[in-house]
Chain A
Amino acid sequence: MNRRVVITGTGIIGPVGKTASESWKSALEGVSGIRRMSLIDPEEFTSQIAGEVRDFDPEEHFDRKLVKRIDRYTQFAMVAAREAYAQSGLEGSIRPERLGVIIGSGIGGIETLESEHKVALERGVGRINPFFCPMMISNIAAGRVGIDLNAKGLNFATVTACATSGHAIALALDMIRLGRVDAILAGGSEAPITLTGVGGFCQLKALSTRNDDPKTASRPFDRDRDGFVISEGGAVLVMEELESARSRGAEIMAEIVGAGMTCDAYHITAPAEGGEGSARAMVLAMEDAGISPEEVDYINAHGTSTQLNDINETEAIKTAMGEEEAHRTPVSSTKSVTGHMLGAAGAVETIFTAFALREGIIPPTATLFEPDEACDLDYVPGRARKADMEYALSNSLGFGGHNVTIALKKYSG
């Protein structure tokens, strides 16, 4: 496989910014996007805080008719895809048949599902909105982006909970390597801040209840962490075959050099002992990239701020990298400021990792005050750190035991 794949566009809309560069700036400066929930009345929930996309007016992006026919999760995907596509400069220089889309969602249009279910119960099934199905399904963001940007190549969604957009990127890498298309809009989106979305995660005891201090509630690797903070948003990358990008003089952000995908085959929500599955994903990604642990200069962790994830991911990094290299390698979790954007998380973090490689600076684990005894790696606490890096990994792990690691390389021509 000689075809190399680079990033030529990025788009993020989320709790710490309405563009990729704005979000990256917040991640670097440790500016939290977590607040008390406003989209729903949080009073009855154990967790009352979230990373919402604030002041989002869909009519700034779409005409009124379209706004009513696309769920909030699709709106985020389309906004992020437009940003990435505009940045890539691909429009007019790629045949639509050679442009693909792989954009997933952990859940899909849950807000639409809830509201139409209410209609069905209160007014009868005959009053369900005829657009209900094509609004709610978790592949419709990919379909809508295809229509919006006239991308006529391969088009589908991945659905692996919090690993969703990690898988989208991993599959896009292989699809471009195989020559099925020349460029892909890859990513994920999520709009889970609804009654059942938040209620469900509360019932799992997965969410932080640090309601009196939202800004430090997401505390990856911290001794006092008490769960993740639910967030929403969308993130999309333009991934493109290197020669295609070079020949049209595109600005290249970073190269994607490998991916590893595994399953724990252990438990529906808890990670396998010692993060065994996640460790194998990291090893596979390094093998795919043709690099050794000594060459990895940074790891953007899944780092959710739950008890189990952070301990097991730490163990996984040690297993994959070897004890010595694990302690040498900076690891950080940008979920400290974004919260957990579920299906969008992997793409957000891959984009942050690309920015880190390009700019030579590692975003911090902004809210790490006192590390857990069992979390003894260098988590870049508090402040960003300058570092000359060549290779980095980005981890995403999802309910179902899905593990995916993306390997990136600084692009230097």
Chain B
Amino acid sequence: MSLENRVTEIIIDKLGVKPEQVTMEAHFDTDLGADSIDQYELIMGFEDAFGLRIDEDEAAKLTTVGKVVEYLREQDVDQ
């Protein structure tokens, strides 16, 4: 499964959104309805799924689905 698909699956699972909503441009807050606790839970979900830790400053920058994918790719996560 591609990195994009894995990220999308986690987002659907945590936020209960529809697959078509999860575009690379989608903002977690305005497009996917995630409040700050939702977003923190989501970050924890990525951490668990990809076996890494994302520090708070870094997490604050991950405002869209695309930015998460890009970040994870940079981290060279286990796919």
Q: Which A residues are within 8 Å of any B CB, using their own CB?
A: 63-66, 127, 129-131, 134
Residue of A nearest to B40 (CB): A130
| Complex contact B40–A66 (CB within 8 A) | no
Residue of B nearest to A123 (CB): B48
Chain B, residues 1-19, CB within 8 Å of chain A (1/0): the string is: 0000000000000111100
Is B31 an interface residue when CB atoms closer than 8 A count as contact?
A: no
| Complex contact B16–A66 (CB within 8 A) | yes
| Complex contact B16–A64 (CB within 8 A) | yes
| Complex contact A127–B41 (CB within 8 A) | no
Q: Sort A-B residue pairs by CB-CB distance and give the 8 closest, nearest first.
A: A65-B16, A64-B16, A130-B40, A130-B37, A130-B41, A63-B16, A65-B15, A131-B37
Q: Please give the distance in Å from A368's CB to the nearest CB on chain B.
A: 48
Interface residues of A, dominant DSSP? helix
Please name all residues of chain A whose beta carbon is closer than 8 Å to the beta carbon of B15 when the two chains form the complex.
Answer: 65
Q: Please give the distance in Å from A98's CB to the nearest CB on chain B.
A: 28
User: Which of A130, A131, A134 has the most B CB atoms < 10 Å from its CB?
Assistant: A130
B44 CB contact (under 8 Å) in A63, A66, A130: A130
Q: Please give the distance in Å from A51's CB to the nearest CB on chain B.
A: 31
Q: Please give the distance in Å from A95's CB to the nearest CB on chain B.
A: 27
Q: Which B residues are within 8 Å of any A CB, using their own CB?
A: 14-17, 37, 40-41, 44, 48
Please name all residues of chain A whose beta carbon is closer than 8 Å to the beta carbon of B40 when the two chains form the complex.
Answer: 130
Q: How far is the CA of A130 from the CA of B14 in the complex (A)?
A: 12
Q: Please give the distance in Å from B52's CB to the nearest CB on chain A.
A: 13
Please name all residues of chain A whose beta carbon is closer than 8 Å to the beta carbon of B44 when the two chains form the complex.
Answer: 127, 129-130
A131 CB contact (under 8 Å) in B16, B17, B41: B41
Given contacts A127-B48, A130-B41, 15 further A-B contacts (CB under 8 A): A63-B16, A64-B16, A65-B14, A65-B15, A65-B16, A65-B17, A66-B16, A127-B44, A129-B41, A129-B44, A130-B40, A130-B44, A131-B37, A131-B41, A134-B37
User: Which of A65, A66, A127 has the most B CB atoms < 10 Å from its CB?
Assistant: A65
Q: How far is the CA of A63 from the CA of B37 in the complex (A)?
A: 18
Q: How far is the CA of A349 from the CA of B37 in the complex (A)?
A: 38
Q: Please give the distance in Å from A252's CB to the nearest CB on chain B.
A: 39
Residue of B nearest to A62 (CB): B16
Q: Please give the distance in Å from A189's CB to the nearest CB on chain B.
A: 23
Q: Please give the distance in Å from B53's CB to the nearest CB on chain A.
A: 9
A-B contacts, 15 listed (Cβ < 8 Å): A63-B16, A64-B16, A65-B15, A65-B16, A66-B16, A127-B48, A129-B41, A129-B44, A130-B37, A130-B40, A130-B41, A130-B44, A131-B37, A131-B41, A134-B37
